[in-house]
Amino acid sequence: MAREKIKIRKIDNATARQVTFSKRRRGLFKKAQELAILCDAEVGLIIFSSTGKLFQFSSTSMNEIVEKYGLQFKSIQKVDQPSLDLQLDRNDSSKLSKQADELTQQLRKMRGEDIDKLTLEELQNIESTLGTGLSRVLEKKDQKILEQISDLQLRGMKLMEENSRLRKRMSELHVNSPRAVKPAANNDSDIAENAVVEDGQSSECVSNISQLGGSQDLNDSADTSLKLGLPCSKWKW
pLDDT at residue 25 above 60?
yes
Q: What does pLDDT average to over the chain?
A: 75
Q: Which of 17-31, 121-135, 147-161, 170-184 has the lowest mean pLDDT?
A: 170-184
What is d(CA 11, CA 207) in angstroms, rounded to the nearest whole number? 162
Query: DSSP readout, 46-112?
Result: EEE-TT--EEEEESS-HHHHHHHHHHHHHHHHHHHHHHHHHHHHHHHHHHHHHHHHHHHHHHHHHTT
Pair 57, 32: CB distance under 8 Å: yes
**Confidence class for position 134, pLDDT limits 50, 70, 90:** confident
Average pLDDT over residues 139-160: 93
Cβ contact 224:235 at 8 Å:
no
- Indicate if the pLDDT at residue 227 is higher than 50: no
pLDDT tens for each residue of 41-70: 999 999 998 888 899 999 888 888 888 888
Q: Which residues contact 43 (CB under 8 A, 6 or more apart)?
A: 32, 33, 35, 36, 57, 58, 59, 65
The packing angle between helices 120-176 and 62-110, to 10°, is 80
Task: Sort 205 into a burial class: Cβ within 10 Å, 0-12 / 13-18 / 19+.
Answer: buried
Weakest mean pLDDT among 4-8, 17-21, 102-106: 4-8
Q: Which residues pair with 46 in a beta bridge?
A: 56
- Residue 35 is predicted with a pLDDT of 92
Give dist(CA 42, CA 63) in Å, integer.
12
Q: Is residue 38 scored above 80 in pLDDT?
A: yes
CA distance linking residue 61 with residue 81, whole number of Å: 30
pLDDT for 178-204, tens place per residue?
654 454 444 444 444 444 444 444 444
Give yes or no for residue 117 having a pLDDT over 70: yes
Q: What is the distance between the alpha carbons of residues 149 and 157, in angstroms, rounded to a whole number?
A: 12
Extended strands (E) in the chain: 44-48, 54-58
pLDDT level of residue 148 (50, 70, 90 thresholds): very high
d(CA 105, CA 114): 8
Q: Is the pLDDT of residue 105 over 50?
A: yes
